[in-house]
Structure 1
Amino acid sequence: METKRFYQQRLDEWVEESRKQAYKGRVAEYIPGLAAAPQHALGIALWGTDGQFFQSGDTDLHFTMQSISKVFSLLLALMDSGEKSVFQKVGMEPTGDDFNSILKLELVDPGKPFNPFINAGAIVIASLIQGDGPDEKSERLLQFIRHLAHDNRLDYNEAVYESERETAHRNRSIAYYLKDNGVLEDDVEETLEVYFRQCSIVVNCKQLAHMALVLASDGVDPVTKQQVIPRRYVQIAKSFMVTCGMYNASGEFAIEVGLPAKSGVSGGILSVVPGKWGIGIIGPALNSKGNSVAGVQLLRHLSQDWDWSIF
């Protein structure tokens, strides 16, 4: 009990300390549906493989998954299409470029995205999810995420979905370039519909942390004790989280925090302490790389003070 009280006290202290960093960032405004998020919000939830649960801050704040969803679309595509098919279409390397950059598609190995976590790669991955049209594909991904979160209430934010669809000029450019090079075989608009919908799935920190816990447990559902994702595919996903998960700040994050993580421009971060903890964070104020300013600071505290780095 004393240990639990100590953990909670330190967590509360670090949340309030890290929240002060939010003034250094800005809420994403290029997607109109995200612009109204509270700049100084910060919340964290931690689920332990031993059943412990901690939360602090604004954990009831709902937000869209955005690029965090790329972890789960990759996992479902691997389960649907297999490792060989997926990596014939998408590479395994970080780019060092912005997540929505087109540059490397033309300069290196023309048309094949470097990894599944940049927008180009995630669009291709969306096309590899099985289903008869975008509605069935989107529904299968939503049900997969609901299952991992243990919450069937998860759904889309229709306003965010519409705003993403209406302002996605660069993503359309990327998708048509992929189509022109034969990397994307499905219909462009139908594939983009799946991609926009996955980004608009609404979660809170607690749900996100439970999804992370499955990854921390190597694909075993901690509630049912069943292997719901093959361990090999979870290894692949966590490897990408380390090398590409924090956009083009992934190397810096690996040095300073040292945990597999995936961020999204809503300010969410999903992170994993392998074998121990699943972590969900929300902090809408972003730095120049698109990562939560306060959220990264909070994870730095956790990793350094509790010696959680995997390195």
Structure 2
Amino acid sequence: MTCQVSRELEQLVLQARPYSAHGNLASYIPALEKANPNHLSVAIFDLDGNCIYAGDYKQKFSLQSISKVLSLAYVLARIGEEEVFQRVGMEPTGDPFNSIAKLETVKPSKPLNPMINAGALVVTSLIPGTNPREQWDGFLAFVRTLTGNQKIDYSQELQESEFTTSYLNRALCFFMKQHGIIVGEVEEIMELYTKQCSIEMNCLELAQLGAVFANNGRNPVTGEQLIPVQIARICKTFMVTCGMYNASGEFAMKVGIPAKSGVSGGILGVIPNRCGIGVFSPALDEKGNSLAGWKLLELMNEKYNFSIF
């Protein structure tokens, strides 16, 4: 594996960085307000094991909702599509990612897809294990394998910050438990979910993880099949239709690649059969997507013709 800075990418970072001035940090999670809003980094990891990067590429950030793709892949591989999709749907939603509205109007009261908070909470509740520690250890080992870094871990400070302020996510859990969509203890699910969201990595590690999905679930460095081909396909489809919250359609038009954002400012991009992309810039638009990160991906698409459409 060879990694080097890219002057072309550095120029695109310079063009995109000013957009961060128009965004805001995710204030509803206190620990996320400590981020530097001017950070912007990007890395591309191709299927030959080569990577290029630009910007503050060593800066770590939490995955937040990007982790929804990973937990989905993990659970689908271990308990199967039938069990998962009995409890969560496959359709996009025009509502905010943390909305409870559709749960009240859709029958049965299951979340529309696994990329919104309600759906991700269902998926997390399905992580196999006899106790929360076993569930967490198994999932973290999976994430470490995807990145090739056994030191990947979560931020305890961030996890505690999220856990103590996750009132709406608890409400979603209790609503779904009332309707039989979720089983198990809500506080245990919340602990596991906030740990999952608090996993930290840099954009280079995120890009390497993305390359696994781009390579149909196979590690491009070792050749090992880490995710079944069908499950990698399902995850990439959800990333196109639901991955950028309720701006997924606009993102598909302007950038045109499977992607998943998180309110820390990270964006995971996947270009099938070409490469994985990791982007980080913490200033967000009103829908929870990284402003400068989105603009950078637009500029990259114009230069490198990334769109799958």
Decide: shared fold, TM above 0.5: yes
**Alpha-carbon separation, structure 2, partners of 1:273 and 1:103:** 33
Per-residue CA distance 1:10-68 (angstroms, 9 max, x = gap): 21110011001100101111101100100010000110112221000011111111000
Residues 1-311 of structure 1 aligned to structure 2 (within 5 Å): 8-311=6-309
**Alpha-carbon separation, structure 2, partners of 1:202 and 1:136:** 20
Per-residue CA distance 1:166-185 (angstroms, 9 max, x = gap): 00100000000010000001
Per-residue CA distance 1:58-80 (angstroms, 9 max, x = gap): 11111111000000000011011
Equivalent pair of 1:133/1:190 in contact (CA under 8 Å) = no
CA offset at residue 9 of structure 1?
Answer: 2.4
What letter matches 2:7 in structure 1? Answer: Q
SS in 2 for 1:281: strand
Per-residue CA distance 1:251-276 (angstroms, 9 max, x = gap): 00000000000000000000011111
What letter matches 1:63 in structure 2? Answer: F
Report the count of equivalent residues.
307
**Alpha-carbon separation, structure 2, partners of 1:75 and 1:265:** 20
Per-residue CA distance 1:87-146 (angstroms, 9 max, x = gap): 000000011100000000011124200000100000000111111121111111111000
**Alpha-carbon separation, structure 2, partners of 1:82 and 1:294:** 37
User: Identity of counterpart residues, as a percentage?
Assistant: 49
**Alpha-carbon separation, structure 1, partners of 2:150 and 2:48:** 24
Equivalent pair of 1:46/1:279 in contact (CA under 8 Å) = yes
SS in 1 for 2:83: helix
Equivalent pair of 2:48/2:221 in contact (CA under 8 Å) = no
Unaligned 5+ runs, structure 2: none
Unaligned 5+ runs, structure 1: none
TM-score by length of 1: 0.97
SS in 2 for 1:242: helix
**Alpha-carbon separation, structure 2, partners of 1:184 and 1:111:** 11
* 47-56 or 159-168: bigger deviation: 47-56
Equivalent pair of 1:15/1:56 in contact (CA under 8 Å) = yes
Equivalent pair of 1:50/1:276 in contact (CA under 8 Å) = no
**Alpha-carbon separation, structure 2, partners of 1:261 and 1:61:** 20
What letter matches 2:293 in structure 1? Answer: G
SS in 1 for 2:278: strand
Q: Alpha carbons of 1:304 and 1:109: their partners in 2 closer, same or farther (altered >3 Å)?
A: farther
CA offset at residue 191 of structure 1?
Answer: 1.2
Equivalent pair of 2:49/2:221 in contact (CA under 8 Å) = no
What letter matches 2:165 in structure 1? Answer: T
SS in 2 for 1:152: coil
What letter matches 1:82 in structure 2? Answer: G
Equivalent pair of 2:109/2:179 in contact (CA under 8 Å) = yes
**Alpha-carbon separation, structure 2, partners of 1:163 and 1:82:** 33
Equivalent pair of 2:261/2:267 in contact (CA under 8 Å) = yes
SS in 2 for 1:35: helix
**Alpha-carbon separation, structure 1, partners of 2:74 and 2:185:** 20
What letter matches 2:256 in structure 1? Answer: G
**Alpha-carbon separation, structure 2, partners of 1:209 and 1:51:** 11
**Alpha-carbon separation, structure 1, partners of 2:126 and 2:58:** 33
